[in-house]
Amino acid sequence: MTAALTAALETIVGRDHVSPVSGQPAVLVTPASPAEVADVIRTTADAGAAIVPVGAGYRAARLRGLGERRRVHVSTERLTQVIHLDETSLLCHVQAGLTGLALEKLLAPRGLSLGDYPPGILGSSVGGLVGVRTPGKSSARHGFFEDAVAGVSAVLADGRTIHTRVAPRRSTGPDLGRALCGSEGTLGFITAAVLRIHRRPEARLLAAYILPSIDAAIAAAFLALSEECAPAGLRIVDAAEAARHFPAAGLVPGEALLVAATAGPTDLAACDRDLIASAALAEGGRDADPAIAELWWRRRTGGEPSPEPGPQLQISAAPSALRPAYHAIRAAVPGVHLHVSRFDRDGAVIFATFPDGEVGSASAAAATAATAAGGWLLGVRPTALDPYLVALRAQLDPRGVMNPGALIDAS
């Protein structure tokens, strides 16, 4: 870092909010306002350095391919205001640095919530939730997390601030906010978002079933979904994983456990629960102890630790590819623990845990097998569109200032 750039940054955000990053040609800057973000970006760009956005999930591993280029890590840690809570329209305008969990804490006393998103993802800051398209940000009831984004504020590479305007839907060209969603800070630095929020459900009902096979369990899930059942959570656990996570269920090899949470107005939650029960029955299933579902829910919401660390591989699959992908993984890595979750109308996600042996090679084998069977490794991108993404970046950021190491290596 040059002393001149560091000094300039200190002038903008104050001496206390600029610190060196050890082992890297970088400083960490913590602006207090979107206006300071804009000044930081302008100053950094003029100095020929790069901007790296940093949220709650700050990981050095992301900073690949930057070589010795000087960089300014811009943290959203101090951008934690709720700018406006519109309880009439159920919209929450919030700055990018607030984490999902912190926002949930503010919403809960008002009977509001971000929605059915798995609590596991909500440790991320709003900027990360919006700016990075990662697995698991979907629910059958409330859709993909991007669907919750009604508006985005961002600072572009030239220091201009844009606000995409809020409307329930519009027909005035492409959805411009969607350019920023998933752009990982390469097209703009997200400073705030307007999120669609929900009233907390009047009822939540939990149930568990044992199905004769994983195929029967998956069929039951999609049967219920095709009857428009919209569960708050639905998980299918295979016998190998259930033996570790839910031993009380007493699954014999080959069987599968299906746990479900339904929510909403009481009558609707009961309707959805009954649809799942009928679907499980139709596929040859039987009731399991509801305590199993309650245990699942407590773990899911962080009330109780899980017996294993988190899954090491996640494969997304359309409904038609789900069973082939599951069996491909199971055949490739016999010892694997698997569950299927995050069901919505586009499909579901298979989560794999490799309890023994070398995780790296097992994971690679499972990924290869699942991909061949029609699954998608999370995080892949259709490379046919890369030239257009490069062109779009060149238009919005001709000097290559904005997170140049992300998405596509700009070099």
Partner 1 sequence: MAVDPDRVRRELEAIVGPRRVSLRAVDLDTYARDMWPRLLLARRAGAPPAALPTAVVWPETTREVAAIVRAARGLGVPIVPYGGGSGVCGGVVPRFGGITVDTKRMAALRGINADDKVCDVEAGLSGERFERELARRGYTFGNFPSSIYCSTVGGWLATRAAGQLSTKYGKVEDRVAGLTFVTGTGEVIDTDGPRRAFGGPDWTQLVLGSEGTLGIITSARLRLNPAPQLAVYRGFEVDNVAVGIEAIRRVLQRGLRPAVVRLYDELDTFVNGFGHHVDDPAARAYRHSHAPAPLPGEGALPVVPPPPPPPADDGPVGRLLALARRARSHARADAMAALLDRPGLVNRVVGAVAEKIARKGCKLIIGLEGARLRTEVEAALTFAELERAGARDLGEEPGRAWLARRYAVSYKMSGVYRDGAFVDTLEVASSWAQLADLYYSVRAAIGRHAVVMAHFSHAYPEGCSIYFTFAAHADDRAGSEARYDAIWRDGMEAATRVGGTISHHHGVGMLRAPYMAGEHREAMAILTALKLSLDPDDLMNPGKLGLAGARWRS
> Measuring CA to CA, how many Å separate 139 from each of 123, 148, 188, 341, 369?
17, 11, 27, 10, 26
Query: Could you tell me how far CA 320 lies from the centroid of its own chain?
Result: 23
Residue 22 or 172: the one with the smaller Cβ distance to partner 1 is: 172
Contact 206, 259 (CB under 8 A): yes
Residue 165 CB, shortest distance to partner 1, in Å, is 7
Residue 367 CB, shortest distance to partner 1, in Å, is 12
Residue 80 or 113: the one with the smaller Cβ distance to partner 1 is: 113
> Measuring CA to CA, how many Å separate 39 from each of 13, 35, 45, 170?
9, 6, 10, 32
Residue 174 CB, shortest distance to partner 1, in Å, is 5
Residue 295 or 321: the one with the smaller Cβ distance to partner 1 is: 321
Residue 120 CB, shortest distance to partner 1, in Å, is 14
Residue 7 or 167: the one with the smaller Cβ distance to partner 1 is: 167
Residue 290 or 387: the one with the smaller Cβ distance to partner 1 is: 387
Distance CA 231, CA 262 (A): 5
Residue 120 or 379: the one with the smaller Cβ distance to partner 1 is: 379
Q: Whose CA is closest to 4, among 84, 103, 70, 85? A: 70
Contact 205, 273 (CB under 8 A): yes
Neighbours of 301 (CB within 10 A): 13
Residue 329 CB, shortest distance to partner 1, in Å, is 15
Convert 55-77 to b/e letters by CB count within 10 Å (16 or more is b): bbbeeeebbeebeebbbbbbbbb
